[in-house]
Amino acid sequence: MKDYALSANLGYLFTEHPLVDAITRAAEVGFKAVECQRPYHVPAAQVRQACIEAAIPMLAINTAKGEQGQFGLSALPDATHEARQAIDQAVDYAGEVEAGYIHLVSGITSGSASFDILCLNIEYALERLKNTKIEVIIEPINTNSVPGYFMSSPQIALDVVTAVNSDRLGIMFDCFHMLHITGSKTALLEAYALLHKKVRHIQFAAFPDRNEPNHNSFSYPALFDSFKASGYDGYFGAEYQPAGSTQASLDWMNEY
């Protein structure tokens, strides 16, 4: 068994349990970190205490999705106030739980104005975080899963990190989304080569249905070896939809 630092995304795994208990369960089965898309319904102090007791870090949280149909606020030109409220909420929460990253969720929009406001909102977040160790990440998400999502290609992500030009801004590289965006493992590797200097976190699930990762058409451990060979030394985040209970879905971890 190879040693990969695995993170459990608690937006998908251990959802049978309240968040505090899910943190404990993730640690018990061997995950080395947890991440949570939107933990705001649970007081940050409770989440932090659960992480301390389980000896497991909270790797990342997302900014709020906004209203139905927005899927994020950070790139919406007419929602700057709401976007910055969401950033403030995430900054405060991430600071209390000692998260490593805040994912600024772009939203459903398009155009140059959206690009510009996203960059400005990222700069706002970085300013809010300047006296912390927390970094900002952005993530290309495929438009099959989220129609109309702004951050929908590797090139957009690269353009944003180039425009903002901060060593505290990175990219979350989700293999499931990248396979939908690029269409093949070969093209995924080309996208990774384009972005790898800015990749801070990698996520994975089976393609195309986001099932358990051992239902994939190729070996994720072999792919992860190539990422590590290129210099990646971060976590690999399991973000899949279990067919049944999370506990019953974990046989794939034997390969890792």
Q: What is the DSSP string of 60-74?
A: EEEPP--STTTSBST
**Pairing relation of β-strands 33-36 and 101-103?**
unpaired
Residues 167-180 have a mean pLDDT of 98
Distance between CA atoms of 49 and 53, rounded to whole angstroms? 6
Residue with the two structure tokens 């019953």:
248
Q: What is the DSSP string of 145-156?
A: TSTTBSS-SHHH
Instruction: Using a pLDDT cut of 90, give the percent of the chain over it.
Output: 97
Q: What pTM value is reported for the model?
A: 0.97
Task: Answer yes or no: is pLDDT of 7 > 90.
Answer: yes
CA distances from 113 to 50, 100, 170, 226 (A): 41, 29, 21, 37
Q: Which of 75, 202, 206 is nearest to 151 (CA)?
A: 75
Residues 198-202 have a mean pLDDT of 98
Q: Supply 144's token pair.
A: 């099959």
Q: Where are the domains of the chain?
A: 6-59+136-255
Taking domain 6-59+136-255, whether its CATH number is 3.90.180.10 is answered by no
Q: Which of 252, 45, 69 is nearest to 146 (CA)?
A: 69
Q: Which of 140, 102, 134 is nearest to 121 (CA)?
A: 102
Task: Answer yes or no: is pLDDT of 225 > 90.
Answer: yes
* Residues 251/245, Cβ–Cβ less than 8 Å: no
Mean pLDDT score across all residues of the chain: 97
Rg (CA), the chain: 17
Residues 173-191 have a mean pLDDT of 98
Q: What is the DSSP string of 7-60?
A: EEETTTSSTTS-HHHHHHHHHHTT-SEEEES--TTS-HHHHHHHHHHHT--EEE
The residues pairing with 138 across neighbouring beta strands, listed in sequence order, are 171
Per-residue confidence (pLDDT) for residue 147, from 0 to 100: 98
Per-residue confidence (pLDDT) for residue 1, from 0 to 100: 41
DSSP state, residue 231: T
pLDDT one-digit tens code per residue, 39-57: 999 999 999 999 999 999 9
